[in-house]
Chain A
Amino acid sequence: MNTITQLPQKFGAYGGQFVPETLMPALQELEQAHIQSQNDTAFKAVFDGLLQTYVGRPTPLSYAKRLSEHLGGAKIYLKREDLAHSGAHKINNALGQALLAKRMGKARVIAETGAGQHGVATATACALLGLDCVVYMGTVDMARQAPNVFRMRLLGAEVQAVDSGSKTLKDAINEAIRDWVTNVESTHYLLGSALGPHPYPTIVRDFQSVIGRETRQQITGAEERLPDTIVACVGGGSNAIGIFHDFIADEDIDLIGVEAGGEGVDSGKHAARFSAPEMGRPGVLHGSYTYVLQDKDGQIALTHSISAGLDYAAVGPEHTHLRELERAHYTYATDQETLEAFELLCELEGIIPALESAHAVAEAVKRAPQMSPDSIMVVNLSGRGDKDLDTVIQALDEEQNQ
């Protein structure tokens, strides 16, 4: 029998395993595989080797000199996950879990995707490791992230269009779970964010925590001290937990998560779980007890964001816990603020950020001027923006026509 300690199922009161019984054996198997692999130096050597030679890690920490000077406050550094292979931090977790799938003898991998970044990362990892790959994606997201649909197909993945409900990430996850319930014995569900039933929030955090570890080393090298503030966007929250995790014990550092404010939290069209008290409260979605946007009857709310990757009704349970502890703080950026930050970063730094990551930049735009010039802020630039060009062109056109 196995004597290894099980991972904690909850973060404070949040998390857990609210899933159909059919999935319980698979979640237990996955938990075991993860625990064993984390204690297996050979597994870690393979994973770390791929991160270095395939993903291109460590990703740089760039000093954003012109942006910092323009805002006139804190020195801003950008953690360049946009330079990771396949264009975002998602590859860290996709490779880790694809290796776990192989370890468990599962030759078929399924995934959900919103912006397409996790889908592309999963398709990439599956191509590299020779696994069959099916990606579920809402038809609304397929339309607004068309280049990523094409990328996934090029990489050999089958993209399954999801036309139910809001036709976005939430419904893609529903369909992926239904597939998993049906094919659980042959299939690994490669969940892309720090959400869902235990052990996913822990596994995803563990594979993404490389972002924070590198940041600590890099900022210490550049500034001989730790930053004052770390800012990251939060959809499910994997890039945020990835950069926060290594700094949670450093209580002087402000950890700031930025949700999607959409058309404003009063408009009802947003994905700001923590900033809309009439809609956002603890509930259960996709296997996890956490903050969920819902109506008075407990039906899951439709969300809106200019960025598909943040357009989701629930937040990862560890974020809810960190917020309750007041260890991390959560705010939001609207679509409009995000677009302005997007343009600013393009013009001042020569970096086209993903619209998701531009939410974090928008918070830097608000916050940096209020900080002293000797303070340091790190912004997690979780992905690059090539996939968003159509959306941005359309939004800027509409703006001009108004």
Chain B
Amino acid sequence: MSTPLEKIETAFEKGRPAFMPYFTLGYPDMETSIDIVQACAEAGADLMELGIPFSDPLADGPTIQHSTQVALEQGVNAASCLEAVRELRARGIEIPFMLMGYYNPILTYGLAEFVGAAAEAGANGFIIPDLPPEEAQEMLEHIEKHKLGISFLLSPNSEPERAKLVITASRGFTYLVSVIGITGEREALSEQLNQFITRTRQLSDKPLAVGFGISTPEQVQAVGSAADGVIVGSALIKAATDADDPVAAVSKMVGEMASALNTAEKV
């Protein structure tokens, strides 16, 4: 049987770039968000990032901020997010799940306890935007023990030395931030993104996934032509917010974006 980390790696071995949606657990409510994650998996997501809400999400733009605020108002916490993972596994959803959240709720839960409980619930790894590799020593020990993954974030302005640190510390894939900035939809992606991906690839033999600001199937396709994985978050949250049937709306958008990657040409 493969380990949680190996399952993350498998998501990048499908002959096309991986499609990796983000969704906030507990938005617009816990039950609906679980249905949305299931629908994403069935519509072609190769891996999902499940957001654990935090009161002060300082790397996030207004769309994700709003979604986490709504989730918190309903009492969603780290424990109920792990419960959601358990429920999704019970429903037979097998794609890898990366738990994405800020450090303080995890620290409060207890690092060893949280990593152990996440492994037990069926999560595959973590993305913690305010935890750089330097501060992650203890977390990494627990993650290795349970054979889970962790993706540290790499920014276009990171010097090569830091890029090496981030890539080496990451287990599974490295998360490239497409732009200098916070999460949220953007009309156009930076022209330097391809250079950033190319530059990073020379330092890394791990998969490179790109996120922040990617919001249309066209952008997904364009990023997919250079990256191993494409992450979309705010656009899906917005689709859920605007629709009468959020499950159907997110599912439709994920389907379109995942198919766009089938025709992404590797450059």
Chain A proximity of B124: nearest CB distance (Å): 21
Q: Is the CB of B104 within 8 A of A284?
A: yes
Expressed in whole angstroms, the minimum distance between the Cβ of A343 and any Cβ of chain B is: 36
Given contacts A21-B152, A297-B108, is CB(A181)–CB(B181) below 8 Å? yes
Please name all residues of chain B whose beta carbon is closer than 8 Å to the beta carbon of A284 when the two chains form the complex.
102-104, 107, 130
Contact present for B130 and A287 (CB under 8 Å): yes
A299 touches B54 (CB 8 A): yes
In the complex, what distance in Å separates the CA atom of A177 from the CA atom of B155? 16
A177 contacts B58, C-beta separation under 8 Å: yes
14 sampled A-B residue pairs with Cβ under 8 A? A17-B135, A18-B131, A18-B135, A20-B177, A21-B132, A21-B154, A22-B180, A22-B181, A24-B155, A25-B155, A25-B157, A174-B56, A184-B180, A284-B107
**In A293-345, which residues have CB < 8 Å from any B CB?**
294, 296-300
- Bound together, the chains give a CA A299 to CA B152 distance in angstroms of 22
B191, CB-defined interface residue at 8 Å: no
With A22-B155, A297-B78 given, name 9 new contacts (CB 8 A). A19-B132, A20-B153, A174-B56, A181-B182, A283-B104, A283-B108, A296-B108, A299-B77, A300-B104
Q: How far is the CB of A222 from chain B (nearest CB, A)?
A: 45
* 8 closest Cβ pairs, A-B complex: A298-B108, A298-B105, A297-B77, A22-B155, A182-B181, A299-B55, A21-B153, A20-B59
A25: nearest residue on chain B (CB-CB)? B157
A10-27 contact mask (Cβ, 8 Å, vs B): 1 or 0: 000000111111101100
Answer yes or no: A170 CB below 8 A from chain B CBs.
yes
Question: B65 in the interface, Cβ–Cβ < 8 Å?
Answer: yes
A164 within 8 A of B: yes
Q: Annotate A24-43 by CB proximity to B: 1 below 8 A, 0 otherwise.
A: 11000000000000000000
Tell me the bound Cα distance from A298 to B81 in angstroms: 14
Contact A24 B132 (CB under 8 A): yes
Chain B 191-238 residues near chain A, CB threshold 8 A: none
Contact partner of A286 (CB less than 8 A), chosen from B58, B132, B166, B181, is B58
Contacts of B106 in A (CB 8 A): 298
Indicate whether B187 reaches chain A with its CB closer than 8 angstroms.
no
* Closest residue on chain A to residue B179 by CB atoms: A182
Question: Is B162 on the interface with A (CB-CB < 8 A)?
Answer: yes
Indicate the size class of the contact surface on chain B.
35 or more
In the complex, what residues of B have CB within 8 A of residue A283's CB? 104, 107-108
Return chain B residues, CB-CB under 8 Å to A19. Answer: 130, 132
Chain A residues with CB below 8 A from B177, complex form = 20-22
Bound form: Cα–Cα A341–B186 in Å: 52
The number of chain A residues touching the other chain, given as a range, is 20 to 34
Question: B244 near A: Cβ within 8 Å?
Answer: no
In angstroms, Cα B213 to Cα A22, docked, is 15
Q: How far is the CA of A17 from the CA of B130 in the complex (A)?
A: 8
Q: CA separation between A100 and B152, bound complex, in Å?
A: 30
Q: A278 contacts which chain B residues (CB < 8 A)?
A: none
A179 CB, min distance to chain B CBs, angstroms: 9
The answer, yes or no, to whether A230 is at the interface (CB within 8 Å) is: no
Chain A residues with CB under 8 A of B108: 283, 294, 296-298
Question: CB-CB < 8 A to A285: which residues of B?
Answer: 56, 104
Which of chain A's residues has its CB closest to B61's CB? A178
State the CA gap A22–B158 with chains docked (Å). 7
Contact with A along B235-252 (1 / 0, CB 8 A): 000000000000000000
Q: Is B129 an interface residue (CB 8 A)?
A: yes
Q: Does B72 contact A (CB under 8 A)?
A: yes
How long is the Cα–Cα vector from A21 to B182 in the complex, in angstroms? 11
Q: Which residue of A lies closest to B155 (CB)?
A: A22
- Interface 1/0s, chain B 124-136, versus A by CB < 8 A? 0000011110110
